[in-house]
């Protein structure tokens, strides 16, 4: 039996595919775990220049599988399901290469929260988008009230979360939820074309630009600042002198260079 999430890395392009079409790619524990593992693999692979996140079948992702969370106790819900989802979605949002979400169909609830971990979203014209959780007496739990606000704005998050409105692809485009709308069946091809354009740019520049934008959105700002600052300082002669002095067991002779 094949995995419900697949990863393919070819010629610098990583494609993550949700592959549970019979359940509209609704996320269960296994799928969330696989997404986290794939994010780690991509981040450790320096050959990857761009990432595409997409789904198989009629939907991108219908959200969290109610069978997986519906019977959980309050403690299991908060400390298990929600915290695990946050940890994995944070990994996806903070992967070094730029990520393009190819929304081949509906992105609802956790599916929209997953799509918003991407840097760019391309949506097929028939797709519907929304945060319907309150209709079940639940709230968006995988950063629908946090990352969505930072990346899409509070006005959009309020409209979707408080009303449960399901919007069309064109409305999503007008609200800034998605960046491009394409015809049915065209999201993956459009995402690949976008990925080629991204991959043609300087890879280090793209990584740094993404980190800076993430920091501006308060996405792991402290880590981004220390990462970039450490990279800068590591190029200095002072670091080379400090390491050499340690190895030679002598006092360092720093020159401030």
- Of 113, 183, 196, 226, which is the active-site residue? 113
Characterise 25 by phi-psi region: left (phi > 0), alpha (psi -120 to 50), beta (else).
Answer: left
Look at the alpha carbons of 41, 46, 52, 57 in this order and tell me if their dihedral is positive or negative. Answer: negative
Q: Decide: 199 and 50 in contact? Cβ < 8 Å.
A: yes
State the Cα–Cα distance between residues 37 and 31, nearest whole angstrom. Answer: 10
Catalytic residue from among 56, 124, 133, 219? 133
Cα–Cα distances (Å) from 17 to 2, 3, 200, in that order, read 12, 10, 23
Instruction: Tell which residue, 133, 121, 113, 136, has the closest CA to residue 177.
Output: 121
Nearest to residue 35, comparing CAs of 85, 77, 81, 104? Answer: 85
Cα torsion angle, 175, 181, 184, 186, sign: negative
Which run of H or of E encompasses 90? helix 83-93
183 as an active site residue: the answer is: no
113 included as an active-site residue: yes
Write down how long the chain is: 257
Residue 206: count other Cβ atoms within 10 Å of its Cβ: 19
Catalytic (active-site) positions: 113, 133
């Amino acid at each position: 039996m094949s995995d419900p999430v697949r990863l393919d890395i070819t010629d610098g392009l990583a494609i993550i595919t949700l592959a549970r079409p019979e359940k509209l790619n609704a996320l269960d524990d296994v799928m969330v775990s696989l997404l986290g593992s794939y994010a780690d693999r991509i981040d450790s692979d320096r050959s990857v220049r761009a990432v595409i996140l997409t789904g198989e079948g009629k939907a991108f992702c219908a959200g969290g599988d109610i069978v997986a969370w519906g019977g959980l106790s309050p403690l299991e819900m908060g400390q298990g399901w929600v915290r695990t989802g946050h940890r994995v979605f944070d990994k996806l949002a903070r992967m070094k290469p730029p990520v393009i979400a190819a929304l081949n169909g509906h992105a609802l609830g956790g599916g929209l929260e997953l799509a918003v971990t991407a840097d760019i979203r391309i949506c097929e014209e028939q797709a519907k988008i929304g945060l319907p959780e309150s209709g079940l007496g639940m709230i968006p739990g995988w950063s629908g009230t946090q990352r969505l606000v930072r990346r899409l704005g509070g006005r959009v998050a309020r409209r979707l979360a408080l009303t449960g409105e399901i919007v069309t692809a064109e409305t999503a485009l007008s609200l800034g939820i998605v960046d491009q709308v394409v015809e049915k069946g065209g999201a993956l091809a459009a995402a690949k074309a976008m990925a080629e354009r991204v991959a043609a740019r300087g890879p280090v520049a793209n990584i740094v630009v993404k980190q800076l934008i993430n920091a501006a959105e308060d996405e792991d700002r402290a880590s981004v600042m220390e990462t970039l600052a450490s990279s800068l300082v590591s190029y200095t002669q002072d670091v080379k002198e400090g390491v050499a002095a340690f190895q030679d067991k002598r006092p360092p002779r720093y020159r401030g260079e």
